[in-house]
Structure 1
Amino acid sequence: MRQHPHVKWNIKRGGRDAPTPTPSLTPLPNALFEDAAYPVKWNIKQGGHDVSAPTLSFPPLPSETITLGASAVSVSDPPQPHHGHGGIGMHVQLGMLFTMKSLFPGALLPEGTKLAHDIGAAPPLRFASRADADAVPFDYNDLDAILGRFGIRRGSKKAAQVAETLLTCGEVTAAASGGDSGEEPRTCATSHEAVISFAASALGTSAPRAATTVVHGGGGGRRRREEPRRYVVAPDGVDRIGSGGAVVPCHPMPYPYEVFYCHRPSDAVALRVELASVGEDGDAALGATAVAVCHMNTTMWDAHYFDMLNARRGEPICHYMPQSYVLWLAI
Structure 2
Amino acid sequence: MDFHLVHIITFFMLVVGATNAVMLPPQLYWKSMLPNSPMPKAITNLLHPAGYWSEEKGTWVDVGKGGVDVGVRKGYYEGGGTDVNVGVGRSPFIYNYAASETQLHDKPNVALFFLEKDLHHGTKLNLQFSKTTSNAATFLPRQVANSIPFSSNKMEYIINKLNIKKGSKGVQIVKNTISECEEQGIKGEEKVCVTSLESMVDFTTSKLGKNVEAVSTEVNKESNLQQYTIASGVKKLGEKNKAVVCHKENYPYAVFYCHKTDTTKAYSVPLEGADGSRVKAIAVCHTDTSEWNPKHLAFQVLKVQPGTVPVCHLLPEDHVVWIRK
Structure 1-normalised TM-score?
Answer: 0.68
CA–CA distance in structure 2, aligned partners of residues 163 and 210 of structure 1: 29
Residue aligning to 1:327? 321
What SS does the corresponding residue of 1:293 show, helix, strand or coil? strand
Unmatched runs of 5 consecutive residues or more in structure 1: 12-16, 45-52, 67-93, 218-224
From 300, 303, 309, give the equivalent of 2:291: 300
Whole-Å Cα distance in 2 between the matches of residues 29 and 124 of structure 1?
6
1:214 aligned partner: 218
> Aligned partners of 2:255, 2:59: CA distance in 1, in Å?
12
Q: CA deviation at 1:10?
A: 7.9
Structure 2 CA distance for partners of 1:61 and 1:19, relative to 1, 3 Å? farther
Match of 1:194 among 181, 199, 214: 199
Amino acid at match of 1:100: E
Question: 2 CA distance for matches of 1:227 and 1:330?
Answer: 34
For 1:292 and 1:102, locate their aligned partners in 2 and report how far apart those are by CA, in whole Å. Answer: 12
Mapped partners of 1:327, 1:192: distance in 2: 14
- Shift of residue 62, structure 1, vs aligned partner: 2.0
Distance 1:152-1:33 versus aligned 2 partners, 3 A rule: farther
Cα deviation per residue 1:9-28 (whole Å; 9 max; x = unaligned)? 589xxxxx95479889x9x7
Q: Write out per-residue CA displacement over residues 303-326 of structure 1, whole angstroms, 9 at most, x where no aligned residue.
A: 233232122432100011110000
Q: Give the aligned residue type for 1:258.
A: A
Task: Supply the distance in 2 between the matched residues of 1:142 and 1:289 (Cα, whole angstroms).
Answer: 40
Aligned to 1:47: none
TM-score by length of 2: 0.69
Q: Match of 2:34?
A: none
Q: Which residue of 2 aligns with 1:139?
A: 151
Residue of structure 2 in register with 1:117 after alignment? 131
Distance 1:227 1:213, change over 3 A: farther
Give the letter for the 2:292 counterpart. W
Which secondary structure does the structure 2 equivalent of 1:158 belong to?
A: helix
Superposition deviation, residue 258 in structure 1:
0.4
- With over 3 angstroms needed to count, the CA separation of the structure-2 counterparts of 1:324 and 1:136, relative to structure 1, is same
CA deviation map 1:75-99 (0-9, x unaligned): xxxxxxxxxxxxxxxxxxx322111
Match of 1:254 among 246, 250, 253: 250
Question: Per-residue CA shift, 1:212-232, capped at 9, x if unaligned?
Answer: 111124xxxxxxx35673211
Aligned partners of 2:59 and 2:311: how far apart in 1? 36
Contact 2:132 2:317 in 1 (8 A): no
Q: Say which SS state the counterpart of residue 201 (structure 1) adopts.
A: helix
Matches within 5 A, 1:91-110: 94-110=110-126
Would you say the 8 A contact 2:229–2:271 is kept in 1?
yes
Shift in CA distance, 157/32, structure 1 to aligned 2, threshold 3 Å: farther
Structure 2 CA distance for partners of 1:263 and 1:158, relative to 1, 3 Å: same
1:330 Cα deviation from its structure 2 partner: 1.4
Letter in 2 for 1:62: H
How far did residue 146 of structure 1 move?
1.5
1:231 equivalent in structure 2: 228
Instruction: Report the residue type matching 2:317 in the other structure.
Output: Q
| Paired AA for residue 204 in structure 2 | A
**RMSD across aligned C-alpha pairs, in angstroms?**
3.3
Output the CA distance in 2 between the equivalents of 1:298 and 1:213.
23
Identity of aligned residues (%): 28
SS of aligned partner of 1:61: helix
Match of 2:311 among 317, 320, 325: 317
Structure-2 residue corresponding to 1:168? 180
Question: Can you list the C-alpha shifts for 1:126-148, whole angstroms capped at 9, x where unaligned?
Answer: 1132x221111111122122222
Partner SS, residue 152 of structure 1 = coil
Q: CA deviation at 1:36?
A: 3.8
- 296 and 30 in structure 1: CA distance in 2 versus 1, 3 angstrom threshold: closer
One-letter identity of the residue aligned with 1:189: V
How far does residue 187 in structure 1 lie from its aligned partner after superposition?
A: 0.5
Confirm or deny that 1:242 pairs with 2:238: yes
Number of the residue aligned with 2:96: 43
